[in-house]
Structure 1
Amino acid sequence: MSAECHISSLVVHTRPERVPEIMIGIGAINGAEVHGGQDTGKLIVTLETDTESQVVERINAIQLLDGVLSATLVFHHFEPVPERE
């Protein structure tokens, strides 16, 4: 089985007053990064994972953060990672 690289982006709608705590929670999730939207409570988040199931696990973890209203997958791309010789 060859290794894969999965890149996903999400829009995470939050309660605006909870943004700082939510950003800390997202930052604690392996492969997750916030790229903007803090001022509106609509966070732009990317995920870098090794498998499709990890994408789903991380989206679920984000949705369970207190103050998150929804986490919507906007983009998902994956490709095989070439094996090193």
Structure 2
Amino acid sequence: MPTDALHIASFLVHVQPAHRDEITEWLATEPGCELRAEDPAGKLVVVMESRREARILEVIDSLQSHPAVLGAALVYHQLLDPDTADEPEEAPIP
């Protein structure tokens, strides 16, 4: 894997429902973050791309330390070669 790998991660965030808009607006300002799903109860699914794994962890740490966030957890992380990241994967032959 090249040293300039592209990190793709997803994480779940559970926020107090009254502060959901505040947290989603903050996430929208974070480079590489994309809110993929949310519900009125304050559960969010976030996907993030970064050249640095540490940046993903910084965002999760920031979320966990916010008083309106009940929890934030990494659920998926993959390293991709940025030159081929957008190419479709071939399905294995059964």
TM-score by length of 2: 0.77
- Map of 2:5 onto structure 1: 4
- Map of 1:38 onto structure 2: 39
Determine helix, strand or coil for the equivalent of 1:75. Answer: strand
Q: Identify unmatched segments of 5+ residues in structure 2.
A: 84-94
1:63 CA drift (Å): 2.1
Distance 1:44 1:7 in 2: 13
Query: 1:48-72, CA deviations, whole angstroms, 9 ceiling, x for partnerless residues?
Result: 1101111111211222334111111
Q: How does 1:1-85 map to 2 (within 5 A)?
A: 2-82=3-83
Distance 2:34 2:62 in 1: 14
Q: Identify unmatched segments of 5+ residues in structure 1.
A: none
Determine helix, strand or coil for the equivalent of 1:54. Answer: helix
Greater than 3 Å deviation, 4+ residue runs: none
Distance 2:70 2:14 in 1: 5
Greater gyration radius:
2
Q: CA RMSD in A?
A: 1.5
Report if the CA contact (8 A) 1:16-1:41 is conserved: yes
Report if the CA contact (8 A) 2:8-2:80 is conserved: no
Report if the CA contact (8 A) 1:2-1:81 is conserved: no
* Higher relative strand content: 1
1:78 CA drift (Å): 0.7
The residue type paired with residue 81 of structure 1 is P
Report if the CA contact (8 A) 1:25-1:65 is conserved: no
